[in-house]
Structure 1
Amino acid sequence: MKTIKNIAIAAGLTIAALPALAQAQDGEIGYAKGSLAYDALVAGDNEAAVQKLEGERLTDPAVMINLGQAYARTGRPGDAAKMFMAAMNSNRSFDLVLADGQVVNSRKAAEIALNSLNGRLASR
């Protein structure tokens, strides 16, 4: 049986969908409260998310993806891409529940996030 974990903002999901989800669940299923910086990301406190996630295990794809999102939001697209690629290439993978409720493999979530980042950069 695969473990399903939850991730906050993976794949560049729109903020509009997040407040309802934040009320519906704690946002960090299978993790200690705050370990994915879910609340900080939802609140748009991206610097706090970066500080929190840089102190976490960077071997966990969920942490890497959320840190990548925080990096992207703070103007660090190169660091964001590195985190998404590390999550894609991680020797660990598991299913994640995205902020929109979609369940995807962590590698796929990282790929979606990287593609979204590349699309935003290309449209500048």
Structure 2
Amino acid sequence: MKLLLTGALVTGLMGVAAHAQPTMNSETAYPKGSIGYEALVKGDNARAVSQILTSAQVSRHDPAKLINLGRAYARMGRLDEASAMFSIVMQSRDSVDLVLADGRVMNSKDAARKAYAGLQTRVATR
């Protein structure tokens, strides 16, 4: 399975499935709002969290969902919760390939490690 992570790694990770041709402006192959993608793009982190937490249409273990939730938490300053989301993806028994916005493919665990490392850098520079 491949997932598309849009957004630069520098600014954060946001996931959408890429079973068809990747698009950068919507949740491809996910029900609209289920992983909070559009809310994250618009900077509406509270709405993204709400959408992600209330969506029963996507597994609570889905790496794109967890990475997006972690990203929204990080943007809201909820760093412990963000860290927990990235850790869950890193420690999962399963992993998937993720297609980054620039076309590179990255394992979901590696993407979560990068997000986690960025979060740790942010914590260290406070």
Residues 24-103 of structure 1 mapped to structure 2, 5 A cutoff = 25-56=24-55, 57-103=59-105
How many Å apart are 1:9 and its aligned residue?
4.9
- State the TM-score, normalized to the length of structure 1: 0.79
Find the residue that maps to 1:80 and give its secondary structure. Answer: helix
**Alignment partner of 1:7: what SS?**
strand
Distance in 1 (alpha carbons) for counterparts of 2:6 and 2:89 = 15
CA contact (8 A) 1:72 1:80 kept: yes
C-alpha distance 108-62 of structure 1, shift in aligned 2 (>3 A): same
Aligned length: 114
Identity %: 45
Which residue number in structure 1 is paired with residue 11 of structure 2?
Answer: 13
**Cα 1:5–1:102 shift into 2, 3 Å:** same
Give the gaps of 5 or more residues in structure 1. Answer: 15-23
Residues 26-60 of structure 1, C-alpha deviations (whole Å, 9 max, x = no match): 34333223222111001000000011112243211
CA contact (8 A) 1:13 1:99 kept: no
Q: Indicate if the aligned counterparts of 2:86 and 2:113 stay in contact, CA closer than 8 A.
A: yes
Q: 3-state DSSP class of the match of 1:85? A: helix
Cα distance in 1 between the residues matched to 2:26 and 2:104: 13
More helix by share: 1
Aligned residue in 2 for 1:114: 116
CA distance in 1 between partners of 2:78 and 2:40 (Å): 15
For residue 29 of structure 1, what is the amino acid of its counterpart?
T
Query: 2:41 aligns to what SS in structure 1?
Result: helix
Root-mean-square deviation (CA, aligned residues, Å) is 2.2
RCO greater where, 1 or 2, for CA within 8 Å and sep 6 or more?
1
Structure with greater proportional strand content: 2
Residues 30/103 of structure 1: CA separation in 2 closer, same or farther (3 Å cut): farther
How far is the alpha carbon of 1:11 from its aligned partner?
4.4
- Runs of 5+ consecutive residues of structure 2 not aligned to the other structure: 13-22
